Structure 1
Amino acid sequence: MPDGTCFLCGDSYTKRGMARHLQSCLADTASSGEDSAAIIQIVGEHRPDYWLYVAIAPSTTLATLDEFLRGFWVECCGHLSAFTIDGVQYDRPHDEDAPAGFGPPPQSMDVPLDEVLENVDDATFGYEYDFGTTTALSVSVVETGSWGDDAIASSLVKDVSPVENVIVLARNEQPERTCADCGDQATVVCQPCLRDPDAGAYFCESCADAHDDGEGYHAFLPVVNSPRSGVCGYRG
């Protein structure tokens, strides 16, 4: 499991250690105030070596969090997406006239995070992007404290967020991928081979040129720091 970098101080920690570190680092670098912020951990459900910690105001809508996840980690072709919280699906785009299926009817993402979590015992929920080649994420509220967004943002040593109201506090380092043929650092991933659990999917550029994926064509994507690396048309 790769370590990650804290963007408040620049130090490196493990995924588990980062949660403890952020509590003390926020106390040291972001002054307390009347506003509050929720610290959220986001992890690739099937690829847990990709992870983030972000800070958002509890009043931030699911739509804003979805916009962030798309822009930072998963967007490739404008696919559908949805959060599932306590058995209720919050989808994008939302169609109020869609026929009802089993379970509670889908809801719009235009709802604040603190409102949907108000009566939920477990503040961990799911997110899915693209219901064909799905990227699934696990989202957990780690802590809520009296740090204002402005105080946190002004303390960052590096700002990498594409969305103003979501602040990236920490991110995993790029997982090391080695070429399946020569063992050098991999730069591309073969999409057909990634779907085969018994095949090596990562290659350096030299070995990729000679690679036979068994399907008569080469479908390579760059190795990027995202749980959607190698999927659909995602290029980072």
Structure 2
Amino acid sequence: MARRKQSRGKCVFCGRELTKGGMAKHLQTCPQRGEAHQEGETDQNLYHLQIHGAWGCGDYWLHLEMQGAATLSKLDHYLRAIWLECCGHLSQFIFNDRDSEEISKRKKAELVFNPGLELVHIYDFGSSTETLIKVVGVRQGKPLTAHPLYLMARNDLPEETCGVCGKPASLLCMECITEEDGPEAVCDEHAKKHSDHDYALMPIFNSPRTGVCGYEGPAEPPY
């Protein structure tokens, strides 16, 4: 079986295209990112977070910079807006050992984060979507934005191919996925021939929540 190509994305500072792991290393030394950093009276701890989907959804990833003074509720809101929100489900943060207690969203990032720390964010306790959060590093300086989080890189939309003809797919058939009796993804042309499953056809979004519950895509930025 051919190995699936790793998803790639662009650095917002210099435009370089890299994989998730390559991006983590690149952002630590990107000259343009360094030029964007400022010092001033508002210096605080700023945390580099690498976030990706769990359980086979690793092609979806983000690199964020989060202000240390911001609470985890701000990170929860951001993940909901860019990736997850569909029906107002509950969510929680836990440490990545699966036996830990819930971490209060009222806690400030600087009271929880340390380089190397790994957390799990769970959205929806029925049809759950889990994301893994790793603290890659920390710097002191002036935030790059007035918002609690700044997007430094994001994966490009992973390529899905039509299960009928092999062309780029635009829709998922949830009935086929559930019953495993046909193509899971279809192009626009074969979606028309899939009309008996019209109600089950869902758009493909750049999110690990694609095809789950009532997810209809991300909110409009800024988050």
SS in 2 for 1:88: coil
* Residue 160 (structure 2) pairs with residue 147 (structure 1): no
**Alignment CA distance shift 1:194-1:14 (3 Å):** same
* Residue 177 (structure 2) pairs with residue 191 (structure 1): no
Choose from 108, 115, 119 the match for 2:111.
Answer: 115
Asked whether the 8 Å contact 1:4–1:173 carries over to 2, the reply is: yes
Partner of 1:226: 207
Partner of 2:220: none
Percent same amino acid at aligned positions?
37
Structure 1 unpaired stretches of 5+: 91-107, 154-162
Asked whether the 8 Å contact 2:123–2:129 carries over to 1, the reply is: yes
CA distance in 2, matches of 1:186, 1:77: 26
Q: How many residues align?
A: 204
Asked whether the 8 Å contact 1:74–1:226 carries over to 2, the reply is: yes
SS in 2 for 1:64: helix
- 1:174-213 deviations in whole A, cap 9, x for unaligned? 1000111111111111123334678531111221232388
Structure 2 unpaired stretches of 5+: 1-5, 218-223
Choose from 136, 146, 149 the match for 2:130.
Answer: 136
CA distance in 2, matches of 1:196, 1:67: 34
1:36-115 matches, within 5 Å, as 36-46=45-55, 47-85=57-95, 87-90=100-103, 108-115=104-111
Give the C-alpha shift of residue 114 in structure 1.
Answer: 2.2
SS in 2 for 1:218: helix
CA distance in 1, matches of 2:136, 2:178: 33
CA distance in 2, matches of 1:195, 1:132: 16
- 1:96-150 deviations in whole A, cap 9, x for unaligned? xxxxxxxxxxxx41111222347xx95101011111111110001000012321x
Give the C-alpha shift of residue 27 in structure 1.
Answer: 2.3
Asked whether the 8 Å contact 1:194–1:230 carries over to 2, the reply is: no
Partner of 1:100: none
- 1:53-83 deviations in whole A, cap 9, x for unaligned? 0001122111110000001111011111111
Choose from 127, 145, 156 the match for 2:121.
Answer: 127
1:158-173 matches, within 5 Å, as 164-173=147-156
Asked whether the 8 Å contact 2:116–2:135 carries over to 1, the reply is: no
CA distance in 2, matches of 1:114, 1:226: 27
CA distance in 2, matches of 1:204, 1:3: 22
SS in 2 for 1:235: coil
**Alignment CA distance shift 1:130-1:235 (3 Å):** same
C-alpha RMSD over aligned residues: 2.3
Amino acid at match of 1:44: G
Partner of 1:104: none
CA distance in 1, matches of 2:75, 2:66: 9
SS in 2 for 1:110: coil
**Alignment CA distance shift 1:146-1:189 (3 Å):** same
